């Protein structure tokens, strides 16, 4: 199916894009990488009358360290994150970027577009939910920052105002002794995951001092598995505690049956993915260099 006809606008700056959005109103939509928006337009689930293209705005694709944080420009491509030595300093971020879809999608899709689209099957929201992440937004009244936990409010719904744009994603560097891992289960590389799990731990010896666990593709938004986190926090990691966390993650999942599998199947996947991600996160927290790749049917 082809998308409905639309008018194309090319922004020369983020401020100009904001102005265009204010003039176009609800009929306007931003185009970043287009890897989430264009498929929705082809299915006619999204029908904007105007597209404002950000791809010719200079200086909004970057990865840099600043004051104990990593900063990602809104138009930074997934592939740029995948091959960035700076981004790899937080290994779970590399896991995410390297596992998104296929090479073509990673070369076009952007981290800012993914967050702003709030697709419940996306990867970035799940991973960044386990880190101290804030979203910088630009609107007609100036800039503001929103914690990621308050930014995505529902499926395809964010706290962005009608004339606001995501300009930057800021991720605070985890403390010493931290490690994380992100795993997804897919039928094949190009498709969305059936289920995914992100785990970020801070270890002191064999004891988990802090834990963050998020589940993807099993709810309308990424789910923070707070009971699974509590099963690990302050505990010596063992088979028993990992099994308890996995069981709590299964209970937290709220999947819908679809062509990717039944609800019960997805819950079982979540438990297995969380347990495996915990094992990998612990090894990384101990300083091991561990390669992580998604699991395929």
Q: What is the DSSP letter of 181?
A: E
Q: Does residue 67 register a pLDDT over 80? A: yes
pLDDT over 90 percentage in the chain: 89
pLDDT band at 49 (very low <50, low <70, confident <90, very high): very high
| pLDDT one-digit tens code per residue, 111-163 | 999 999 999 999 999 999 999 999 999 999 999 999 999 999 999 999 999 89
Predicted TM-score (pTM) of the model is: 0.94
DSSP 229-282: HHHHTTSB--HHHHHHHHHHHHHH-----BTTB-HHHHHHHHHHHHHHHHHHHH
β-pairing verdict for 50-53 and 69-73:
unpaired
pLDDT (0 to 100) of residue 173: 98
Residue 254 pLDDT more than 80? Answer: yes
d(CA 93, CA 207): 24
For residue 226, what are the contacts with CB-CB under 8 A and spacing of at least 6? 252
Residue 1 has pLDDT above 80, yes or no: no
Per-residue pLDDT, 195: 97
> Tens digits of per-residue pLDDT, 6-30?
999 999 999 999 999 999 988 999 9
Domains of the chain: 7-53 (3.30.43.10), 63-172 (3.30.465.10), 178-286 (3.30.390.50)
């Amino acid at each position: 199916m082809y998308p409905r006809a639309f008018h194309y606008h090319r922004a020369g700056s983020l401020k100009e894009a904001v102005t265009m959005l204010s003039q176009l109103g609800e009929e306007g939509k931003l185009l970043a990488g287009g890897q989430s928006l264009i498929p929705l337009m082809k299915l006619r689930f999204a029908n904007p009358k105007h597209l404002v293209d950000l791809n010719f705005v200079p200086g909004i694709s970057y990865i840099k360290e600043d004051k104990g944080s990593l900063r990602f420009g809104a138009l930074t491509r997934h592939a740029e994150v995948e091959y960035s030595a700076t981004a790899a300093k937080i290994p779970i971020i590399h896991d995410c970027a390297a596992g998104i879809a296929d090479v073509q999608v990673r070369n076009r899709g952007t981290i800012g577009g993914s967050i702003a689209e709030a697709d419940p099957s996306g990867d970035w929201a799940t991973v960044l939910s386990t880190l101290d992440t804030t979203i910088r937004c630009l609107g007609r009244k100036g800039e503001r920052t929103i914690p990621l936990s308050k930014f995505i409010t529902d499926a395809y719904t964010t706290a962005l105002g009608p004339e606001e744009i995501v300009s930057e994603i800021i991720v605070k560097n985890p403390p010493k002794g931290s490690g994380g891992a992100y795993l997804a289960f897919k039928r094949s590389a190009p498709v969305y995951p059936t289920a995914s799990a992100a785990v970020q731990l801070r270890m002191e010896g064999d004891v988990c001092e802090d834990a963050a666990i998020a589940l993807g593709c099993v709810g309308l938004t990424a789910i923070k598995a707070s009971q699974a986190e509590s099963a690990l926090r302050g505990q010596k990691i063992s088979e028993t505690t990992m099994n308890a966390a996995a069981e709590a993650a299964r209970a937290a999942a709220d999947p819908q049956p679809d062509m990717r599998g039944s609800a019960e199947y997805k819950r079982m996947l979540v438990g297995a993915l969380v347990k495996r991600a915990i094992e990998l996160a612990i090894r990384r927290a101990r300083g091991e260099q561990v390669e992580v790749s998604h699991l395929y049917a």
